[in-house]
Chain A
Amino acid sequence: MRRLPRSVHPVAWWIWALGLAVAAACTTNPILLLLLIGVSCFVVLLRRGDAPWSRSLRVYLALGAAIVAIRMLFRVLLGGPGGGTVLIDLPSIPLPSFAAGIHLLGPIYSSSLLDGLYDGLHLAAMVVCLGAANSLANPKRLLKSVPMGLYDIGTVVVVAVSVFPQLAESLGRVRRAQRLRHDAATSRRHLVRMTIVPVLADALDRSLALAAAMDSRGYGRHGSASSRRRLLTGAMTIVGLIGVCVGAYGLFDERAPETRRWPVFIAGLVLGVAGVVVSSIGRRVTRYRPDPFDLSAIGVAAGGALSAALMVWATDVAPADLHPDTLPATWPVFGVLPLVAACAGLLAVVASPAPVLSRTREATA
């Protein structure tokens, strides 16, 4: 018997994308960042399905381009010190003394513009990596693999994460409908009435339909647990998660007092895990067609994890490669290790099977 075509476990795609994002966070080298963007886009193009959320990558790309443009614009507006070639010598707007340290306009240096470009690419690469995860992973399948105790919070997170691709898809539908009506005279004029209102209405309709569908399939049932126990476990989980957040912040803040670091983190972790365990006791959950975390999923996740690990290693071994100089401007060169780290995400193409398209599914049925 032939195996049915399966999609890769959504958690694997998220691990892959987060790994690429971590790698992007380690560097400001524009070629490495473009490589990471290119790798994630390439994998999305090869491995995305034809579901609505799969078409959202271009919105993330546009968002990334906007980030780069805004960063560079602000370097021009708030000139500040720089060096190298003066590209345009704008007049500086004098500010009163209480705004000392803030420049308006002034000469635009090549180094400050380059810094803005690198900085913008840095953030844009992370945004595109997360966008790739959103295009590849089915958000509703992701919800299926959330542990039972985290179910309520998991639902909120998944709905929040999938809002943006849904909006992108709504926008596409509304504009397609406008084009089909061929109403060229009015389409440009009423942005609010012609675009924003239909998009929001569409999003609302869709979320209501999703809620009804989830309700009819038994999502969000609490079973036989008493309301008091539900309150207890819910409070434990939420307090635990807040503790983890505060503790994680303290871990990265060098000046946080010792008591706000590990103790809060560990206490929050323990509380959160206890809440999850307690709430999942006595709840019986059956899963229809569970997604196995199989070999392909491991391969996909390993690609992202390898990329992140190699890039973090490169921050120790070859730090100069990751932050190219802009004053004087030099070629953003790098060695073998960052190159391999940036390209490791391509492993996901090898590991994952071809995407399941609804058209091919109909053809085989």
Chain B
Amino acid sequence: MPAPSRLLRSATAVALAGCATTLAYVGSAAPAQAAGYNGYCKDASGVTVVVDFGAIGKGIAIRCAPGVGGGATDLDAVQAAGIPIQWMQRQPGFLCRLYGEPAASRTLPGGGHEGCVRPGNTFWSVWQAANGGKWAFASAGVSEQTVTAGGFVGFRFSSTATSAPAPGVAPKRPGAASPAPKPSSTAKPAPKTTAPGATRPAATNPPAGSPDGSKTTAPQAGSSGKGSAARSAAGSAGAAAGKSSAAPGSAGASATGSASSGARPSASSSASAKSSSSASPSSSSSAAAGASATGSDGAVAAGGPAIGDSDKMIDDAKKDKSSGLNATTLIGGGVLAALAVGGAAVAIVRRRTSG
């Protein structure tokens, strides 16, 4: 039967070609790290990227992405700062790891997909802030959301289903005596609940002080359609904001966006629904941070997590990656080749004998 075997042969050829190109790209890829530096940005010409590891327990890493101005996305800022970023393989656009954390060897509460996130339970929440402003839940994915020029991009690893607190440091550069002049769209540091830097129409929120601020009934948005889920999430976010506006200083923690870091609409909307449902209890620590930030210059709140050295973390993240092939992998490749050769030989012999 020549035709089917031709099919088989071409399928094999495609598979082998795919593998060969994979290995070629894997071998040739040498990521160029841009020059960011540890700590807050020294002036308004850059964007400070704050990564709060939360329950991972590595404190907070602060790194500057110099030369990133308005119009750039969060992703541009992260890459310009030289922070290793990794997406979920099976959910394109969903943020998986920053600084190589959560490492695959880490045990996450409730397990996790690909060892990094479980949407709705453990995920990286993304935040935006102007310098001296307040953290606002990002309303679009990392590669969509534009940065506030001279401002802050925050990430916090949220590890429980019931809270998505803001990063544990206040978004204020220590050196700047007065807030640098901001470009138009980003708001003043006044505690307004509209998200700064909101560019998408979806991010315009229902008015704060929507009905029933006391009980934020979280919609079970897990499996519903994206449109209604996002809308109800935004509604409950507005409700949470309505409550938190009663307590000044905690507004920074209330989620004002309708979508979290993920580009997948269903997963991200459920995540933001969870976070908005819990913004009020979670705001205790970040409210303190916000309150103290207005007084002192961007210091960590008392009892807050320690600020780590981001240069060292990047080095650690690179060190974890094994660069070369190891013996067992080569054995695996050898077994694969032996199977291919053996299988082909068996097929030929059987075809000969059976005529």
Q: Which residues of A pack against B, CB within 8 Å?
A: 28, 30-32, 34-35, 38-39, 41-42, 45-46, 50, 55, 58, 61-62, 64-65, 68-69, 75, 78, 80-85, 87, 97, 100-101, 110-115, 117-119, 122, 172, 175-176, 179, 254-255, 319-320, 323, 325-336, 339, 342-343, 357, 359
Contacts and interface: CB of A to CB of B under 8 A. Distances in A.
A294 B321 CA distance: 47
Contacts of B335: 35, 38, 339, 343
B185 interface: no
Contacts of A61: 8, 11-12
Nearest to B22: A117
A319 B115 contact: yes
Contact of A39 (B220, B326, B339): B339
Shortest 9 CB-CB distances between A and B: which pairs? A81-B143, A38-B339, A320-B104, A328-B31, A329-B29, A58-B8, A319-B104, A115-B89, A333-B329
Interface string B6-35: 011001101100110010011111110000
Contact of B7 (A62, A115, A319, A329): A62
Interface stretch (B40-48, B152-160, B288-296, B340-348): B340-348
Nearest to A110: B25
Given A81-B87, A101-B140, A328 B263 contact: no
Contacts of A81: 75, 87, 92-93, 141-143, 263
Given A39-B339, A81-B93, A119-B89, A359 B354 contact: yes
Interface in B60-81: 75, 79
Contacts of B4: 55, 58, 172
Contacts of A35: 332, 335-336, 339
Contacts of B201: 97
A254 B109 CA distance: 12
23 contacts: A30-B19, A34-B19, A35-B335, A35-B339, A38-B339, A45-B346, A55-B4, A58-B5, A58-B8, A62-B7, A81-B93, A81-B263, A85-B29, A111-B87, A115-B87, A115-B89, A115-B90, A172-B1, A254-B120, A320-B105, A325-B86, A333-B325, A339-B329
Contacts of B140: 100-101
Interface of B: 1, 3-5, 7-8, 11-12, 14-15, 18-19, 22, 25-31, 75, 79, 84-87, 89-90, 92-93, 103-105, 110, 114-115, 118, 120-121, 140-144, 200-202, 220, 222, 259, 263, 265, 321-326, 328-329, 331-333, 335-336, 339-340, 342-343, 346-347, 350, 354
A117 B340 CA distance: 20
A336 B328 contact: yes
A82 B104 contact: no
Nearest to A118: B89
A185 B29 CA distance: 49
Given A81-B92, A254-B121, A101 B325 contact: no
B332 A175 contact: no
Q: Which of A50, A84, A101, A323 has most chain B Cβ within 10 Å?
A: A101
A326 B340 contact: no
Nearest to A34: B336
A323 B89 CA distance: 9
